[in-house]
Amino acid sequence: MDQVVFESVRKTFRHRPALFNWLGKERGGETIALKDVSFSAASAEVLVLLGPNGSGKTTALKLISTILLPDAGSVRVGGFDARRDAGAVRRQVGVAVAAERSFFPRLSARENLDFFAALDEVPRRQRAQRIDEVLHDTGLEEQADTLVMKFSSGMYQRLGIARALVKRPCVLLLDEPTRSLDAATTAHFWATIRGLAQQETTVLLATHNFAEAAAVADRLLLLHRGELLANRLVGEGESADALRSFYFRTTGEIDEARGAIQRARTAQ
């Protein structure tokens, strides 16, 4: 069964310049973030949204989490419409966004998780155990009782993931989840994602990291300037390099990084 369904979704952001715009140069007009995008994610599937900055990945995740409403088309999660049944959708979705400071600084990691778990209606008698589990999964056990104002950006990132997991969502949304993580924690996190999929959680992960996409994806959506350019399965063992080639071939962009590496090798 499809857990997440996007049907012809369009989202435009309008920019209205300030009243006295002649004092500055604020841009007017509009940005089309998503152009008639359609896709679906099955139960227990890890779907990676790959694309450069500004391609519409975060907008897609925000539409699923009901932070944003679509201008046209429909978004459904677990059969519920995100516009009409936003409450039912939010009960099924866990969100780990890249906002590092989205915690209460004078509460500890455990207190923050307890607060958000209460708002997510996790039963009180299950809360302590679940919090211990997610702290373990994200490697934050030793920092559990430290005020989060003392956390590094990597620890915030891990806590954001822990917060999304504590409600045991049917659909997990991750926006550049390993951006600030070290290599060991990243590898552990990728294994956790695969484990979640085996427990029937649908995962949608936005990234521009080819290694991450290759490590966790069952299927790949390639977004570019708000358009869905590709929607395809990722083969077992398909490498980051293969995905990289596919990306540049499909988007028509020039792989400047690869050119620079080759030039450096030639110079040596």
Partner 1 sequence: MISTLDKLHAILRRDLLTAIRHRSGFVVTLVGVFTELAAFYFLSRAIGPSFRPGGLEYFPFLLVGTGIYTFFVMSAQAFLSAVQEAQQTGTLEVLMTTSTAPAELLVLSSISAFAGNLVNLLVYLFTGVAVFRASIHANLLSCVAVLIFSLAIALALGIAAATLQVAFQKGSAVLWLLGSGLWFLSGTMFPIQSLPRPLELLARAVPLTYAIDGMRRALLEGQSVLAMARTLAVLAGFGVVLLLLALTGLSLSLRRARLNGTLSFY
Site string for partner 1, 176-215 (x = CB under 8 A): ----------------------------------------
CB contact at 8 A, 160 and 96:
yes
CB of residue 228 to partner 1, shortest distance in Å: 20
CB of residue 222 to partner 1, shortest distance in Å: 23
97 binds partner 1 (CB under 8 A): yes
- Quick one: how far is CA 123 from the chain centroid? 26
What does the alpha-carbon distance between residue 38 and residue 248 come to, in Å, rounded to a whole number?
Answer: 22
Helix (H, G, I), strand (E, B) or coil at 2: strand
CB contact at 8 A, 8 and 73:
yes
When the beta carbons of 71 and 133 are compared against partner 1, the nearer one is: 71
Helix (H, G, I), strand (E, B) or coil at 244: helix
99 binds partner 1 (CB under 8 A): yes
Type and span of the H or E element at 203: strand 202-207
Q: Which stretch binds partner 1 (CB under 8 A): 73-81, 115-123, 231-239, 247-255?
A: 115-123
When the beta carbons of 87 and 235 are compared against partner 1, the nearer one is: 87
Strands 46-50 and 219-224: parallel
What does the alpha-carbon distance between residue 237 and residue 215 come to, in Å, rounded to a whole number?
Answer: 8
DSSP type of residue 268: -
> Which amino acid, 265?
R
Q: How many residues bind partner 1 (CB under 8 A)?
A: 37
Among 75, 93, 140, 213, the residue binding partner 1 under the rule CB under 8 A is 93
95 binds partner 1 (CB under 8 A): yes
What is 204-263 written as a DSSP string? EEEES-HHHHHHH-SEEEEEETTEEEEEEE--TT--HHHHHHHHHHHH----HHHHHHHH
- Sign (positive or negative) of CA dihedral 71, 73, 75, 79: positive
CB of residue 123 to partner 1, shortest distance in Å: 9
Strand partners, 203: 46, 172
When the beta carbons of 158 and 163 are compared against partner 1, the nearer one is: 163
CB of residue 261 to partner 1, shortest distance in Å: 36
Strands 93-96 and 171-175: parallel
The two counts, helices (H) then strands (E), for the chain are: 9, 10
When the beta carbons of 114 and 218 are compared against partner 1, the nearer one is: 114
What does the alpha-carbon distance between residue 189 and residue 225 come to, in Å, rounded to a whole number?
Answer: 29
When the beta carbons of 121 and 256 are compared against partner 1, the nearer one is: 121
144 binds partner 1 (CB under 8 A): no
150 binds partner 1 (CB under 8 A): no
Site string for partner 1, 15-54 (x = CB under 8 A): ----------------------------------------
248 binds partner 1 (CB under 8 A): no
Residues near partner 1 (CB under 8 A): 13-14, 59, 62, 65-69, 71, 87, 90-91, 93, 95, 97, 99-107, 111, 114-116, 118-121, 124, 147, 163, 167
